[in-house]
Amino acid sequence: MGTSFRAILVGICFVILICFIVSYAELVVAYIQIGFLQLPPAVIGVFFFLVIANRLCRKISHRFALAPHELMLIYCMMLVASMISSRGVMEKLLPALIAVNYFANESNGWEDLFFPHIKPWLIPFNPERKAGQTIAVNFFERLDPTDPIPWVKWLGPLLAWGGLVLLVFFAFLCLAAILRKQWIENEKLTFPLVQLPLEFVHTGGFFRNRLVWLGFAVPALIFTLNGLHEIFPQIPNVQLRHVLNQYFTERPLNAIAYTPIFLSFAAIGFFYLLPAQLLFSLWFFFFLTRIQDIIAAIFGLRVSGMPLYPTRLYIGYQVAGAYIVLVISFIYVGMPHLRRVFRQAFTAETQPTDSEELLPYRVAVWGLIISLLGSILWCYYAGLNLAFAAFEMIVYIFIVAVVMARSTAEGGLLMTETSFRPIDLYQLVASKATLGAQSLTFLSFFDAIFTRDQRGLILTGFLDGLKISDGVGLKRRSLFVVLALAIVVAFLCSAAIHLWLPYRHGGNYLYSYVYRANCIWAFRDNTAAMEGLRTNYSATGPIFFGVGVIVTTALVILRTLYWWWPLHPLGYALSASWTLIVFWFPVLIAWSVKTPIMRYGGIRQYQRLRPFFLGMIFGEFSMAVIWTLISWAANVPAPFFPWP
């Protein structure tokens, strides 16, 4: 089945709605990060109400009701819109382009260090003038209500960076077209994040199941109580966040890195869908990172942090080694498929096997090559060393993004977050100061916009859309047009919203992570190298990178040879990420619940209880949308939701 004009029209309306809900919730309300998860609560909540409305329309007249494939088409458009209007693009792009001017001062010396090396077409302010220009001050401190927003000054930089965003997105789209058959048909990955929306449209019995509504009631009751507590403090609330470090005050336990407990019912519901072995690996390797902290403290080892990430240096480089081995293993397992793809792309294959793919393999392969080369040249003209530009884009697209996509396709993780950047791999062999001032200046922008925070990675949305197309019989070629349209509409709409909000509210009064953290961290990190300061060579990075390579190789081999081997290499690769810092406790709960169910009740009992856990997911996500709308309409604070 293909697309319909009415589905596209409705989809565009919901794209605009999602852009507004996500932007307002995350930037103004701030307590509800509703759009950056790989299954965004905003999308699930709005989609739930859309499905209910569609069921009512069907009772009135089948003519006005949307078919399942039309509903899922709209869902895919909303999914892309949520990611773009959140951490996928806009929350990182606009603040990064202006923050260096606002936060430059005499003590940090950024005006002298960075301004001379910034290409004027990259930013909305004038790099030849002083810091604290009006366009930056008004962005962070609020524009006078009678003054117009300086749309024209932002137009050029948005078009320039928009070109790079489209090149990267097209590379991801081509990569998704190449990986689809291997991951979905050959390896049969479960793609847990698509199961809930497919349940919404596939069976009417889902909403008549009492267990679904019982699961829905648990988070609905708790978040209603917590929301009322924010308005009326005398009403009790349920704490959903605890920090364990406050209990570890004596050495060596006080060396443990930040370890919170976030109680998310939606996360427990999702992790219930995962294999018990993978769940065990996720929490086991997370605990192993904390045990390493204790061992380091016992032996009095010097502990330093991974730059810009909440983990230790020796763990961050283990993770980097694990990523490399994982990607090599993906290539090895998928080699027969990849051979067919490249044979069809580079030879006159007479029997094409890609007629039903998102893109013909020839288009996908050449599109990937051209978009990769285009993004490398774009970065080169923006000031980045050409060889390092190639290294940066290859690591970002083919290593980090692929492992993050695998973490959602196989691991069902709601959040994509890594523990290293391409520059960290470069520092295994050379100091980043060797790149020069101009390259480091551009990297300060690029890290903030693309490589440091991977939440909202749109590659996962493309792959989930392809899995959904199989579930509702939607033509993949038609999905390409719809996704492209959703990207353009979401980029334009969210850009307008993300300019209007800070100029009218003041960035300093909005969500602090977006306007006073991520946008300047890379500039701070590169300041020492820009000043010519060099640290002595340390063997810590290479040694633990080697440890990561060896351990992951052993895990891959053992998992290949022995079906019963309990430790999954993906758990080791994700062990230090913010994803597991947030979700390790829901993973542990889900494993503790699912293991006895599978052992004593079998698959039948697992299937019988599944609706309860799905109900917890859309119950928590629906509450996030409802409290966003209540906060906006009544101007009252919203409760905390446990996905920071």
**C-alpha to C-alpha distance for 314 and 292, rounded to whole angstroms:** 9
Which pLDDT belongs to residue 349?
Answer: 63
- 71 lies in which domain range? 5-634
- pLDDT averaged per 10 residues, the chain (length 644): 82 95 91 88 90 85 82 94 95 96 93 94 93 93 92 96 97 96 93 88 77 94 94 92 91 91 94 92 96 91 87 95 97 94 81 78 95 98 96 97 95 92 94 93 96 94 92 85 94 96 95 95 93 73 95 95 92 94 96 94 91 92 90 88 88
Number of structural domains found in the chain: 1
* Residues 508, 140 contacting (CB under 8 angstroms): yes
Residue 416: both structure tokens together: 């994509």
Distance of CA 56 to the CA centre of its chain: 34
Q: Which residues, 6 or more positions from 286, have their beta carbon under 8 angstroms from its beta carbon? A: 575, 580, 581, 584, 587
Is 372 inside any structural domain? yes
Is 513 inside any structural domain? yes
Which pLDDT belongs to residue 2?
Answer: 62
Is 643 inside any structural domain? no
**C-alpha to C-alpha distance for 565 and 558, rounded to whole angstroms:** 7
**C-alpha to C-alpha distance for 123 and 117, rounded to whole angstroms:** 12
**C-alpha to C-alpha distance for 379 and 443, rounded to whole angstroms:** 9
CB 188: neighbour CB atoms within 10 A? Answer: 8
Residue 284: both structure tokens together: 């086991």
Which pLDDT belongs to residue 119?
Answer: 95
Is 368 inside any structural domain? yes
Identity at 376, one-letter amino acid code: I
Q: Which residues, 6 or more positions from 241, have their beta carbon under 8 angstroms from its beta carbon? A: 260, 261, 262, 263, 640, 642
CB 385: neighbour CB atoms within 10 A? Answer: 19
Is 644 inside any structural domain? no
Residues paired with 112 in a beta bridge: none
* Residues 26, 33 contacting (CB under 8 angstroms): yes
Dihedral angle, C-alpha 2, 68, 623, 274, nearest 10 °: -90
**Alpha helices, H only, 506-601:** 512-516, 518-530, 540-561, 569-573, 578-596
Which pLDDT belongs to residue 132?
Answer: 87
Q: How many CA atoms lie within 13 A of 322 on its CB side?
A: 27
Burial class (CB in 10 A: 0-12, 13-18, 19+), 275: middle
Which pLDDT belongs to residue 167?
Answer: 97
Is 199 inside any structural domain? yes
Burial pattern 530-556, b for ≥16 Cβ within 10 A else e, equals beeeeeeeeeebeebbebbbebbbebb
Which pLDDT belongs to residue 304?
Answer: 86
Residue in the structure block whose two tokens are 């008004």:
138
Residue 109: both structure tokens together: 């010396």
Distance set, CA 116 to CA 110, 156, 253, 268, 433 (Å): 10, 19, 47, 50, 17
Is 64 inside any structural domain? yes
Cα-only R_g, the chain = 24
Which pLDDT belongs to residue 354?
Answer: 74
